Structure 1
Amino acid sequence: MSAPESTNATGSARCPAVFIAAPASGQGKTTVTAALARLLRNQGKVVRVFKTGPDYLDPQILEQASGQPVDQLDLWMAGEAYCRQRLHQAATQADLILVEGAMGLFDGEPSSADLAARFGIPMMVVMDVKGMAQTAAALMTGLAGFRQDVRILGLIANNCGSQRHRELIEQALPDSVPMLACVARNAEMTLPERHLGLVQAAEIRDDLETRFDAGARALEAEGLAAYLLAQPPVHFDAAVIDDEESLPSLLGCTIAVARDAAFSFLYQANLDLLEAMGAELRFFSPLADPAVPVSDALWLPGGYPELHGGQLATNQAMAASIRAFHEAGKPILAECGGLLYCLQSLTDYDGQTHPMLGLLPGDGWMRSRRGCQGMQTADLPEGPVRAHAHHRSIAEGTPEPIAFGRRQRHPAPGEAIFRQRQLTATYLHLFFPNNPAAIARLFGAEAPQPATVVETEECQGCN
């Protein structure tokens, strides 16, 4: 492994970095990013991968591929200072930084291109070229010239059908936007999906290893890793954000965190913040364990309870334990899948209805089409926390909300926020570092703390 660039006296760190973007979703960004991360890892390099936007599933895949933690970067939800600090830290450790985009590279406000431009990271575009040839070159020419503040290195042509297919695209590309790599159609490296995105890494860990290796072999033949490592390093300045001494305290507070196949949508940044504030985290499985660990507060994050409704309903010992926790008046945060678990029942995609905890009146139903997604601010009594929603279920018969999520620009009310005793339940997934003081109070901190909110320019997402 080569030595990473050192931090200089001004607090800047240098490291080659590239932003992996696409003209749309479903082009193969995660497949290519994971394959490249595994290839570099196989070569003994340290590669730090980031994911743009609020995503739980892709980071699981990318963490397994790279062997390194994967953080989310979002200028609206997390703020520029947070993103800058994470990139600076990675640049002191890595041989290469990869940032995977979200949706199309110019979609949303802020977009992937906004993030790349803000930190001076060059972009390469992954495009599924199945069913087109010279048109791929035309699209690349347009993308490369759309904004002057974004540097596009070139094209990775995914799902290429033949050598002749490659030649037709490559010959039509302008010299300024070269073909960086061409990936042949290969089912062995394609990542499996389900209704909310990719299948969770923990469910298919061994299968993923085979797919990573197939992808690494494909990219190794293209010489892409060597090309990227030879790119001029990007300078990442240090950022000043709250240190542990200035954070509100959760010292002495023990938080039980549900984590298994049904509840796995956990930002590592959220876990890190709770621990930095002094909380002790005790993980448990609502699917398999008989009771909540002895703790002061409980967090039921999002996930896939709809895929495990029968098993959750069968584990009556756990249900009784959580109900007793609620009756004791201890704080509970239930997000999205956690909200569904707290309702009286949940009807899955097969039409089977399963009894749930009954902590909150109402019933959950899965929808085969459409859903809700987008960035919102959760206006909690403890303080505003930026968040996002992404679900394909509805909750009916619920009580009157105490508040609604505030959308970035659209005036319509966002997701409902419910409170029953010390239970806070909502479809919103909160990003804790946006307002540590509010999160500390939510989990039971007694002394009020001044709310420190990472404010950035209001932006419009996909609402």
Structure 2
Amino acid sequence: MKVVLAGTGSAVGKTTISTGIMKALQDENVQPFKVGPDFIDPSYHTIATGNVSRNLDSFFMDEFQIINSFERAMKISKSNMGIIEGVRGLYEGISPISDIGNTASIAKALDAPVVLLMDSRSLVKSAAAVVLGFKALDPDVRIEGVILNKVKGPRHFKKAKESVEKLANVPVIGGIPRNDEIAVEERHLGLVPALEKEKINRNIELWGNIAEEYIDLDALKDIMKTSDKSALKDNKNKAIDSLEDDNNYGHRVDLSIHEDEFNREHNEAINLEVTNGSKPGELWKTGNKTPIKIGVAIDEIFTFYYKETLESLEENGAKIVPFSPCKDDEIPDVDALYIGGGYPEVFKKELSENESMLKSINKFHMEDRPIYGECGGLIYLSESIDGLGMVNAIPYSAEMTPRVQGLNYVVARSNRDNLISEEGDIFRAHEFHYTKLNIDSTEDLAFDVLRGRGVLDSMDGVSVRNTLANYIHIHACSCPNFAYNFTKNIAELD
């Protein structure tokens, strides 16, 4: 059983409705998923269901990886019900033509029915036109239900429901009344992370109650049952055949139809094959058996980690040892550090005041021990943020800005051997940050950014001693050699 909850666009209530449905069906052992690279929505899903939410992304993953990731997650949680929250509008991706990076690509790969979530404010007959348009654009996407959000009242809901069901021939299985109190608070990187908000449990409880009251959950489960296991198996076999025929673990997409001088280089980068040393049937490269310990910064500040990335490290001999840069006095006894993304710019005062931790990490760095940082980890490892001292492993200051400095899917190529990749390796990632690093030289930058922005002059990956830190976030499937290379280098440096 599975379903994709997709929006007609952004800000139509996907997060509240999807999380509410997950909460309402919590007793069914729901396995949640999020389309796209987002870290924050999955944190709500995890709280609502008790199962770790996973990302499915057709820019990060080829079709085989999408199917394998889905099946793997369902097996780990022993779930028979997968609920997938979409990203933006159903068809929004990185291209106005192709499906790469959009919700529709996930629905088609998994042969999952789609329930369309729509902001129905001031819509009655036009609601049917919207649904008809979404159905007609791609007949391979199975839109099996509609949920109307922000209905004015019972009369409005009845009329809009009748319109959609009679004119678009799609059942309406719910109508959520307008209620500003159920909106999710936002921050500069998107929705406020669950770990930072004490009232989030109460909010999720509220969203679950609303889902139970206003959505026909039995009808939703009937839609989930329309998933065809044989079709999913066929898709998987086709994906495997494609990999074997083309020896291509990357992605191919024809964007020439809308190519111009401005985006030609980015389009060409999308068609570069990701370096992948994994065996057919594997999501990422494995093979390291040397036991190592990696200290991973996990607390209320540093929360942005893909579960698969941590699991890929564990499958290469690593034991994950959590620690808090904010609350602990020093790092644990480990062989390497991994400091992921989060909000160090928001908690810069607290981090700066924990001098013993800063000294502990700096000492680790000066001893040439391996450290890897992403985005917020890069900022924490820098000299300072807005004048407040940080670790100073990366000898450049950082500052918060009022505007987005990087918001892209990324294609990068290593220009030298480094902690996580070899020279010439190509991988995919994403970037989203408001901070900037005050760096004026590309000498220490290990990655050429072929699509995206990076730290400076389309480059990223500040490499100093055995510390590597970058703005880009890597998923184990978008950089299949990441865990193997990282753990191998840790073992060799030990």
Structure-2-length-normalised TM-score: 0.80
Deviations 1:384-423 (A, max 9, x none): 33211111121122542232222289xx964522111111
Deviations 1:146-200 (A, max 9, x none): 1111111232111222122223422332241232210112344332221111111
Q: Secondary structure at the match of 1:69?
A: coil
Q: Deviations over 1:47-68 (max 9, x none)?
A: 1111111111011100111111
Give the match for residue 215 of structure 1.
Answer: 207
2:163 equivalent among 172, 183, 195 = 172
CA distance in 1, matches of 2:401, 2:486: 31
Q: Give the match for residue 47 of structure 1.
A: 30
Given that residues 181 and 222 in structure 1 are in contact (C-alpha distance below 8 angstroms), is that contact kept between their aligned partners in structure 2? yes
Contact kept? 1:250, 1:445, Cα under 8 Å: no
Query: How many aligned positions are there?
Result: 422
- Measure how far apart 1:362 and its partner are: 2.1
Number of the residue aligned with 1:276: 315
Match in the other structure for 2:428? 386
What does 1:19-98 align with in structure 2 at a 5 Å threshold? 19-41=4-26, 44-91=27-74, 93-98=78-83
Q: Is the 8 A contact 2:65 2:283 kept in 1?
A: no
Alignment of 1:183-202 (within 5 A): 183-202=176-195
2:66–2:106 contact (8 Å) kept in structure 1: no
Q: Provide the rounded CA distance (Å) in 2 between the counterparts of 1:437 and 1:220.
A: 44
Whether the aligned pair in 2 keeps the contact of 1:190 and 1:211 (CA below 8 Å) is no
Q: Give the 3-state SS of the residue equivalent to 2:18 in structure 1.
A: helix
SS in 2 for 1:221: helix
Counterpart AA for 2:196: E
2:119 corresponds to 1:128: yes
- The one-letter code sitting in structure 2 at the alignment partner of 1:397 is I
Partner deviation per Cα, 1:82-113 (whole Å, 9 max, x = no partner): 22123224555323211111111111123111
- Counterpart residue number, 2:346: 307
Q: Distance in 1 between matches of 2:201 and 2:483?
A: 37
Distance 1:420 1:26 in 2: 41
Contact in 2 for aligned 1:363/1:398 (Cα 8 Å): no
Matching of residue 147 in structure 1 with residue 138 in structure 2: yes
For the residue of structure 1 that corresponds to 2:47, the secondary structure is helix
| SS of residue in 1 equivalent to 2:219 | helix
Corresponding residue SS for 1:290: coil
What fraction of aligned residue pairs are identical, expressed as a percent?
Answer: 28
The Cα shift of 1:433 comes to 3.8
Change in 2 beyond 3 A, CA 1:119/1:413: farther
- Which residue of 437, 458, 468 corresponds with 1:424? 468
The separation in 2 between residues aligned to 1:414 and 1:28, in whole angstroms, is 35
1:242 correspondence with 2:289: no
Gap change, CA 1:49 and 1:84, over 3 Å in 2: same
**Structure 2 CA distance, aligned partners of 1:153 and 1:371?**
39
TM-score by length of 1: 0.85
Does 175-184 or 318-327 show the bigger shift?
Answer: 175-184
- 5+ residue gaps, structure 1, are 1-15, 348-352, 449-463
Letter in 2 for 1:242: E
1:288 equivalent in alignment to 2:332: no
Q: Note if 1:116 corresponds to 2:150.
A: no
Check if 1:101 corresponds to 2:86.
Answer: yes
- Determine if contact 1:361/1:399 at 8 Å carries over to the other structure: no
User: Distance between the aligned counterparts of 1:423 and 1:433, measured in 2?
Assistant: 23
C-alpha distance after superposition, 1:32-77 (max 9, x if no partner): 1111111111xx3111111111111011100111111211111221
SS class of match (2:140): coil
Equivalent pair of 1:23/1:127 in contact (CA under 8 Å): yes
**How far apart, in 2, do the equivalents of 1:303 and 1:169 lie?**
41
1:265 counterpart residue number: 304
Q: Which one has the bigger helix percentage?
A: 2
Structure 1 CA distance, aligned partners of 2:396 and 2:212?
53
Contact 2:283 2:477 in 1 (8 A): no
**What are structure 2's unaligned runs of at least 5 residues?**
94-99, 241-279
- Aligned partners of 1:303 and 1:398: how far apart in 2? 25
Could you say if the C-alpha distance between residues 134 and 372 of structure 1 is closer, same or farther in structure 2, counting changes exceeding 3 Å?
farther
Could you tell me how far apart the structure 1 residues matched to 2:301 and 2:202 are? Answer: 25
